């Protein structure tokens, strides 16, 4: 009786697995996002900061604004040409002295964008002959306490 029940159980499992495998997954298409908003609060003199990224249907960044305590700073569209599929922005404070308790004079909004490219490293530590890493381009927007904006691409 045990051998028969075990055989029936095996046949049942095989047939169930085949039935599940026959279920097709419907086709899908990723939908590009239109807008992403990131909010944080920085120490004095900046306070509440809101970063808005607006993309077109091809995931290209077409508008970027940084709002600081209600003042909206629009990043020049010329800097956004070729910036597609941006990653999540990172906001960092810039201080003149790591140990200083003084107020920061500027902050940076940085993010990676584009398709990762394989890059050869100069080191031969653990890889043997050649080491590679995947890197993306990056954009850094620096804003000082007078709301002067500097944009750099790397």
Least confident span in 10-14, 42-46, 127-131, 142-146: 10-14
Residue 60: CB partners within 8 Å, gap ≥ 6?
A: 80, 83, 84
| Per-residue pLDDT tens over the stretch 84-93 | 999 999 999 8
- Answering whether pTM is above 0.75, one says no
* Stronger pLDDT, 114 or 120, i.e. the higher one: 114
Greatest extent of the chain over all pairs of C-alpha atoms, in Å: 86
pLDDT of residue 26: 75
Q: Kind and range of the H or E element at 8?
A: helix 2-22
| Per-residue pLDDT tens over the stretch 48-89 | 999 999 998 888 999 999 999 999 999 999 999 999 999 999
Task: Could you list the beta-strand ranges (E) of 12-74.
Answer: 35-42, 47-55, 61-68, 71-74
Is the confidence at residue 3, as pLDDT, over 70?
no
Percentage of the chain lying above the pLDDT 70 cut:
74
Contact 62, 113 (CB under 8 A): no
| Rounded CA separation 93/79 (Å) | 22
DSSP bridge partners of 113:
137
């Amino acid at each position: 009786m045990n051998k028969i029940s075990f055989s029936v159980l095996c046949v049942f499992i095989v047939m169930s697995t085949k039935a599940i495998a026959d279920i097709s997954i419907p086709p899908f298409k990723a939908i590009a996002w239109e807008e992403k908003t990131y909010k944080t609060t920085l120490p004095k003199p900046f306070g509440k900061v809101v970063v808005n990224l607006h993309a077109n249907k091809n995931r290209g960044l077409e508008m970027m604004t940084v709002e600081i305590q209600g003042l909206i700073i629009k990043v020049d569209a010329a800097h956004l040409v070729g910036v597609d599929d941006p990653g999540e922005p990172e906001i960092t404070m810039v201080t003149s002295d790591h140990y200083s308790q003084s107020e920061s004079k500027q902050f940076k909004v940085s993010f990676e964008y584009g398709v990762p490219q394989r890059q050869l490293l100069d080191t031969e530590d653990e890889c043997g002959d050649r080491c590679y890493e995947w890197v993306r381009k990056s954009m850094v927007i620096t804003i000082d306490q007078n709301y002067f904006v500097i944009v750099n691409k790397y």
